[in-house]
Structure 1
Amino acid sequence: MKIRFKHAALAILGAIFLAGCAGHMPTDEHKGQRVTVNAVTAQGVGETIGTVELLDSPDGLVLNTHLRNLPPGPHGFHIHEKGFCGPAEKDGKMGAAIAAGGHFNPNHAPHHGTPLTGHLGDLPLLTVDAAGKSTEQLVAPRLKLADVQGLAIMIHAGGDNYADQPKPLGGGGDRIACGVIQ
C-alpha cells in the first residue's frame, strides 16, 4: 500500500512539474527562421553557401551562422532594407545584390555604427575561419525577427570597423553573399 502511494505521489508531482513547464515550451510564434544564403555577383545570384538561423531571445535577435565557401577573415554583416538579392545598377555599373538597397535604417541614424549605436541593420562582425566556414552565434540586441521579415541579410567582402571613416559603411566593400528573410 505504501509503495502504491509513493508511486501515485510521484506521478502527481511529475504531472504538476510538466504542466508548469508547458508554459515555457516554445510555440510556433517563437520558432526561428532559417534563411538560405547564396553567393552573389554583378551577374546574379549564385550557389547556396549555407544558412543563417534567426531566433528571438530576451537579448535580441540571435543569428546562428552555418556558412561555407567564404573568404577567410572578418566580414561586414548587415540587414539591408529590401528583400532582393539580385544585381542592379549603381553609379552607371551593375553591382552584386544592389537590389537589396542600403542598410536597414528605419530610425534614420545619421551614421553607420555598432549593433548598439548605428543603423538597426548593423550586425556584429562575421568571422570566417581558414577553411572558409562560419559557425558562430551572434546577437543583434535591438532587433526582433518581426523587424526584419521581408528584408535581406548581407555579407560583404571586407571587414567592418563600425565607422564611416576612412571608408563609408565600415569599409566592407562589395557584397558577396545575400539571403532574403521571408
Structure 2
Amino acid sequence: MKLLKNVFVALLLTVTAIGCAQQEAEETKKKEMAEPATKHSQAVAVVHATAGNEVSGTVTFTKKEKGVRVQADLSGLSEGKHGFHVHQYGDCRADDGTSAGGHYNPADNKHAGPDAESRHVGDMGNIEADADGNATIDYMDSTIELNGADSIIGRGVVLHGGADDLESQPSGAAGPRVGCGVVGIANTGM
C-alpha cells in the first residue's frame, strides 16, 4: 500500500511539473511573439525606377534615441516635390510599383504629414528635387520603427511623380509611382 501511495505521489508530482513547464513555455512563446527580439539599428532601401522613369538612389533609416533618422539621396526625379512613403509590402515587381500596396498603416490612421500627431507610419511627406533631378533629405521621424510589431523592415519605399498634399485620403494624391525599393537590414559594418 505504501509503495502504491509513493508511486501515486511521484506520478502527481511529474504531471504537475510537466504542466508547469508547458505553461512556462507557452508564456515565453507569447512574450516573444508580442515583443520580437530584434535590435536592428539601421535599415536601407535601394530605390529603382519603375517603368519609363529614371529614379535611383538610397534611403537609410538609422535608430536614434528619439526616433529614426531618415536620410535619402536620390536622382532621376523631375524638378519639384515628390511624395515619399513607406508602403505595406516590400514588393517592387510590378512595372508601375503597385505591388508595394498602399501606405504602411498598421494603426489604421488617416493620411497626414510626417509631423502630424496621428498619421500612417509610412507618411514621410515630400522630398524636393532640384533642376538636375537630385534630391536629398535628412530628418528625424518619431513614428517609424525598425524593431517590434510595426517595424518597416521588409516593407517598400515608394517615390511618387507628384507632390503629396498631406491631406487627401488615403494617400495624399501624389500621382504615379516613379521609384520603389525594399527596406532591408543594413550592413552596419560597411
2:125 partner SS: coil
TM-superposed deviation, 1:102: 0.5
Match of 1:176 in 2: 178
Q: Deviations over 1:9-54 (max 9, x none)?
A: xxxxxxxxxxxxxxxxxxxx56423321100128xxx867111111
What TM-score does the superposition give when structure 1 sets the normalisation length?
Answer: 0.70
- Deviation at 1:114? 1.6
Give the number of the structure whose alpha-carbon radius of gyration is greater: 2
Of 148, 162, 166, the residue aligned with 1:162 is 166
Q: Per-residue displacement from partner, 1:129-162 (whole Å, max 9, x unpaired)?
A: 1111112203322112221010001111100111
Runs (5+) with no aligned partner, structure 1: 1-28, 88-94
Structure 2: gaps of 5 or more residues: 1-38, 185-190
Spell out the pairing of 1:97-112 with structure 2 (5 A cutoff).
97-109=97-109, 111-112=110-111
RMSD value, Cα:
2.0
- SS state of the match for residue 148, structure 1? coil
Establish whether residue 32 from structure 1 lines up as the match of residue 33 from structure 2: no
Q: Percent identity?
A: 33
List 4+ stretches of structure 1 deviating above 4 A. none
* Aligned mates of 1:68, 1:156 — CA distance in 2: 13
Q: TM-score, normalised by structure 2?
A: 0.68
Count of aligned positions? 141
CA distance in 2, matches of 1:39, 1:97: 9
For 1:169 and 1:126, the matched residues in 2 are separated by: 15
Contact kept? 1:150, 1:180, Cα under 8 Å: yes
Work out whether residues 36 and 48 of structure 1, in 8 Å CA contact, stay in contact via their aligned partners in 2: no
Distance across 2 between alignment mates of 1:70 and 1:63: 19
Output the CA distance in 1 between the equivalents of 2:92 and 2:156.
7
